[in-house]
Structure 1
Amino acid sequence: MRAPTELDDVQWLTLTHAYGSAEDVPQLIRALYQGDEETADEAIHELYGNIHHQGTVYQASAPAVPFLAHAVRHAPGKRDDLLMLLATLADHDPADVEAPHWPGRPVAAVCAELCRVLPELLPCLGDPERVVRRAALRVVAAVAELLPAELRASAVGQVEALYADDPAPAVRADATVVLSRFGTGPVPLDSPIPEVRLTAATVAAEKSGPPYPAELVEIIAEDGAEPDPGDDDFPWSGTTTPDRHLTRLLTRDPDAGLAVAARWITAGDLGARGSWLAREITEIWRDRQPEVLDLLLAALPHQRDTRTLSHRLSVIGRWIAYLPEPDDDLRNTLHDYARIGTEAAEPALLALVRSRDPRALELVLRRPDARALGAAVSAFPETADRLIPAIRHELAAGAAGNAAIALVAALAPFGAAADRARPELIECLRTRRAAVAAARQLGHNGVLTREIASLLSEAGRSTDSSLRGAAAVAQYRLTGETGPALRTFESLLVANGPTHWHLSGLQPLGSAAAPLLPLVEPLLTARYEWTRFAAAEAHHWITGSPERAVRVLADLVAPTPVGLAALKALAGMGRFPEELRPTLRAFAFSPLRLLSDMPFSEHEHPDEELRTLAWSLLALG
């Protein structure tokens, strides 16, 4: 260990951390000794942000270790926080120590320093405060595989003593984990202490891998239903708390995970752990929606706050559309929540709409909003006579931002009937509320008036490049004149900006955009993948030939957002190169989801779309 009096012996100015020079580290370490809790908290917070930042350590991290170790033993208070900082600094994958670059990594230097000071930190394993003992165990675990034989024997002996005699069940459970890191100690599946049994079962499941033995699943289901409220303060690795680690472990075996989730929900869904586990499983594994929705329905009465209840209803709403026929219990429950005037009513109503329950339409029309109306258009496309007036009313009432954009977009599926909303669309364009969407829809409606022509001409001179492009396309649709649209897109494609957005606007022009080919073709090899994608689509629309586009799009296909867009474009062309077939089969038949959901998305889950598109292309033969 090194005392604060030695801080000036280190050339901190020559060392770096997350924000550059480490010259501020000495004053942060000195602040730990001032006896002021708020000052110490701020210093520790700063150290977590500079010598450790988002899982990374730096040049200055290892030199700080002996000073932090001294502060653990001699600074007033904060022993548990400082021990956790040391454990976090040394966090690494044990497999990395065999890699040739390990000696040169900052984390290797941190671990080396921590091994040197560990003998002086081991007394913390006998600290009278439980939180200090728990934090000290994590320090030992962080370098367990790196300790020399004599130090290892000493550490193992003290950890075994904690496992055998500590009065705190959480400490005994932690000691079980540390002994497993050392490759020693019992596997106490029959321990009389639930926390120890649960930890032992978790460790055993991690070692065995899925599918997990029934004995382990039973212990986890029985002993894991009630979370330890103190666990969040004691992650084992980075921010991975024991509870989060257990959830991740269970998602690797969906049958075991759903069985455990069912038991936890039956036990009251304490901490919403069972319903959260069920939600995670359907985000990771395909075709688990029916089981998960049954579990979420059972969990709804157990939700203890409106925020959690609303989240669970939102998850139901995300997946209910994939059930061929949602059962009556689920739809009746959603209807009950949707009728009451609480925060939970909105997600319940969206879920009810997506279940295609006829009662949902009445509730939407009684309490219209953009999201509910947009969902109702998809669920009840035959009800234009009822939905279009409601959309018009919301637009006329001043809907703006994303709400206005969603309302205008909801008109598109109604075709010619959407022209009834022409006055509201004109007002949106005039006031620049959802102006881009309004311009596009006015172009689709096919009706040109002097007022519309004037507004589109004005929009074509806007500083908003997206609005200029949308106005140019709308003018072309309504007049058939190519000149203004070509001039607009020529200027957009040569300017700095979101080129891929502008390329995507060329579809309505089709072959009329041929004069723009000299600008489009070089973009087929652009560095940015979204630009290559949009250029390939535009090239196909303009030339009518898929040959060049197919090759560019096929190279982009991957389980990524741009890869999904490329796959959708290939499906629209009905073409793909034969060498893409193995990739398509992987997309179609993977039991795991290959694409994650997009936050706040109102559209089909991207992984479901990925699989459907892969199937459709494979069906081409």
Structure 2
Amino acid sequence: MRSPAELGHVHWHDLTHAHGPAEDVPELIRALYADDDDTVGEAIHELYGTIHHQGTVYPASAPAVPFLAHAVLHAPGRRDALLVLLAVLADHDPQDTESPSWQGSSAAAVCTELARVLPDLLPCLDDAERAVRRAALRVVAAVADRLPAEVRATAERRVDALYATDPVAAVRADALVALDRFGRGAEAFDSPFPEVRLAAAVLAAERSGPPYERRTVDVLAGAGSEPDPGDDEFPWASGVSQEDRLTDLLTRDADAGLTAAARWIAAGDLGARGSRLVRRIAETWRDREPEAVALTLAALPHQRDARAAAHCLTTIGDWIERLPEPGADLRDALYDHARGEDEAAAPALLALVRSRDPRALDLVLRNPGPEALGAAASAFPEAVDRLVPPIRRTLAAGATGNGAIALIGALERCGAAARQAQPELLDCLRTRRAAVVAARRIGRAGIVTPETIALLDDAAGSTDSSLSAAAAVAHHRLTGAADTALRVFEDLLAAPGPVHWHLSGLQPLGSAAAPLLPLIEPMLTARYEWTRMAAAEAHHTVTGSPERAVPVLAALIGPTPVGLRALRALASIGRIPEELRPTLRSFASSPLRLLPATPFAEVHPDEELRTLARTLLARD
């Protein structure tokens, strides 16, 4: 250990942390000895943002370890917090220590320093405060694999004693975890303490991997339903609570996770633990939507307030369209919440609309919010004549931002009836409210008036590149003249910076964009993958030839947003290279979701990926 008097012996100005030179570290360490608890707390907070930042350590981190160890024993307070800081600094995966990045790394240096001072910290295992004992166990666990033989033996004996005799069950559970880091597996499924049983089950599940044994799942489901299982966090989990770690573990095995979630929900869904796990499983695994919706519906009565209920209702709304037929009980529950006036009403109404329950339409017309109107336009195509007037009124009332975008999107689903909204769309363009989507809709509506053309001409000259592109394309759609669009896109494609969204906007121009080919063709080999994808799309659109586009698009196919876009383009072209078939089969058959949800997407990206793959595989 090193006292504050030795801080000047370290060349801190030659070391760095998360924000540059580490010259401020000595001041932060000295502040740990202050009598003012706020000062100490602020210093610890700053150390978390400098020598440790978002899971990363730096050259200044290891030299700080001996000083922090001294502060643990000699500063007036916050012993547990300082011990946790040391453990977090040394946190690492023991399986990674043989990797090339480990040797000589800042992480390795931190572990070396902490292993060196650990003998001085072992008395903290006998501290009268449980929080200090738990934090000390976390320190031991962090470097258990890095200790010299003699220190290891001493530390293991002391941890073993805590496991056998500590009066606090949570401390015993942490000791079990630390013993596991020493390679000491302990059979604790029959422990009288739920915290210990839970720790044992988590360790067993992590060792075996999914699918978990039935006995392990029974313990995870049973002990996990207890109030605050394990009380705080595992000693090695950097910044991750025990509850989050348990959720992560159970998400890896959908059957085990849903079994546990059902038990937790039946026990009252304490802290929304079960319903949160259900949501994670539905987001991670394909085809579990019926079970997820059923369990979330069962959890709904247990929610303590409208905000918690809204989370459950949002989950139901996300997946209800994937059900073969939403049951009457589900739709009645949604209807009851949708009629309310708290924050649970909006997600309930959206879910009710997506269930295509006839009662939803009356509720939407009574309280026409932008998102609900858009969903209703999809769910009730027979009612678009009733939906267009409230959409028009809401747009005319000055809707802006995402609300205006949602309303214009609703018009897209209303077919010919949406032509009535041309005045409101022109006003959006004139006042620059959701002007980009308004310009696109105006171009597709096909209504040509002098006012429309004048507004599009003005918008095509906007300094907002997205608006100028959308307006230029709309101008071409309505007039058939390409001069304005060619001028705008020539400037946009020649400008520095990303241009893929402008390339994607060329599709409506078709062969009229041929003069832009000298700008498009070099982008087929651009470094940025989105640019290559959009250039390939544009090249095929302009030339009608797939020869140059298909190889570029095929090389981008993968379970990524750009890969999905490339696959969509290949499907449109109708040319799928034979060598892509194994990849398509993996997209079609994976039990895991390969793409996450994205905001405002009408179709879940993973569902689109699977559907495209199946459709293409079915082609000869």
Instruction: State the TM-score bracket (shorter-chain normalisation).
Output: over 0.9
CA distance in 2, matches of 1:254, 1:443: 46
CA distance in 1, matches of 2:139, 2:600: 42
1:336 aligns with 336
CA distance in 1, matches of 2:106, 2:603: 44
2:238 aligns with 238
CA displacement 1:75-118 (0-9 Å, x = unmatched): 01100100000000001110122234433111111111111100
1:175-574 mapped onto 2 (5 Å cutoff)? 175-184=175-184, 186-228=186-228, 231-232=231-232, 236-574=236-574
2:129 aligns with 129
Amino acid at match of 1:206: E
SS in 2 for 1:143: helix
Amino acid at match of 2:117: V
Q: Which moved more, 1:62-71 or 1:321-330?
A: 321-330
Contact 1:235/1:242 (CA < 8 Å) preserved in 2?
Answer: no
Contact 2:195/2:230 (CA < 8 Å) preserved in 1?
Answer: no
Residues 101/426 of structure 1: CA separation in 2 closer, same or farther (3 Å cut): closer
CA drift of 1:252 comes to 1.5
Amino acid at match of 2:434: A
CA displacement 1:259-302 (0-9 Å, x = unmatched): 11000000000011111111111111110000111100000011
Identical columns (%):
68
1:71-82 mapped onto 2 (5 Å cutoff)? 71-82=71-82
CA drift of 1:602 comes to 4.2
2:578 aligns with 578
Residues 168/154 of structure 1: CA separation in 2 closer, same or farther (3 Å cut): same
CA displacement 1:478-532 (0-9 Å, x = unmatched): 1111222212211221123441111111111111111111111111111111111
2:116 aligns with 116
2:610 aligns with 611
Task: Give the aligned length.
Answer: 620
Contact 1:337/1:344 (CA < 8 Å) preserved in 2?
Answer: yes
CA distance in 2, matches of 1:206, 1:271: 24
1:620 aligns with 619
Amino acid at match of 2:585: R
Amino acid at match of 2:550: V
CA drift of 1:415 comes to 3.1
CA distance in 1, matches of 2:545, 2:99: 50
CA distance in 1, matches of 2:51, 2:122: 23
CA drift of 1:236 comes to 2.2
1:94 aligns with 94
CA distance in 2, matches of 1:103, 1:545: 53
CA drift of 1:7 comes to 0.6
1:103 aligns with 103
CA distance in 1, matches of 2:248, 2:256: 12
CA distance in 2, matches of 1:198, 1:497: 52
CA distance in 1, matches of 2:428, 2:279: 39
CA distance in 1, matches of 2:101, 2:291: 46
Dislocated runs of 4+, deviation >4 Å: 229-235
CA drift of 1:232 comes to 4.3
Contact 1:13/1:21 (CA < 8 Å) preserved in 2?
Answer: yes
CA distance in 2, matches of 1:514, 1:604: 33
Contact 1:574/1:620 (CA < 8 Å) preserved in 2?
Answer: no
SS in 1 for 2:414: helix
Contact 1:227/1:243 (CA < 8 Å) preserved in 2?
Answer: no
CA distance in 1, matches of 2:500, 2:115: 53
Contiguous gaps of at least 5 residues in structure 2: none
CA drift of 1:416 comes to 2.9
Amino acid at match of 2:218: E
CA distance in 2, matches of 1:434, 1:205: 50
Q: Which moved more, 1:405-414 or 1:36-45?
A: 405-414
CA drift of 1:239 comes to 1.6
CA distance in 1, matches of 2:206, 2:120: 32
Residues 452/601 of structure 1: CA separation in 2 closer, same or farther (3 Å cut): closer
Contact 1:226/1:271 (CA < 8 Å) preserved in 2?
Answer: no
CA displacement 1:542-600 (0-9 Å, x = unmatched): 111122111111111111111111111111122211111111010000111111112x3
1:25-64 mapped onto 2 (5 Å cutoff)? 25-64=25-64
CA distance in 1, matches of 2:588, 2:128: 57
CA distance in 1, matches of 2:128, 2:377: 64
Contact 1:225/1:270 (CA < 8 Å) preserved in 2?
Answer: yes
SS in 2 for 1:382: helix
Residues 192/235 of structure 1: CA separation in 2 closer, same or farther (3 Å cut): closer
CA distance in 2, matches of 1:235, 1:397: 56
CA distance in 2, matches of 1:235, 1:312: 31
Residues 196/146 of structure 1: CA separation in 2 closer, same or farther (3 Å cut): same
SS in 1 for 2:420: helix
Amino acid at match of 2:129: E
User: Normalising by the residue count of structure 1, what TM-score does the alignment of the two structures yield?
Assistant: 0.98
Contact 1:202/1:246 (CA < 8 Å) preserved in 2?
Answer: yes
1:150 aligns with 150
CA distance in 2, matches of 1:318, 1:103: 46
Residues 227/58 of structure 1: CA separation in 2 closer, same or farther (3 Å cut): farther
CA distance in 1, matches of 2:123, 2:19: 34
Amino acid at match of 1:59: P
CA distance in 2, matches of 1:227, 1:18: 38
Q: How well do the aligned residues superpose, as a CA RMSD in angstroms?
A: 1.3
Contact 1:536/1:553 (CA < 8 Å) preserved in 2?
Answer: yes
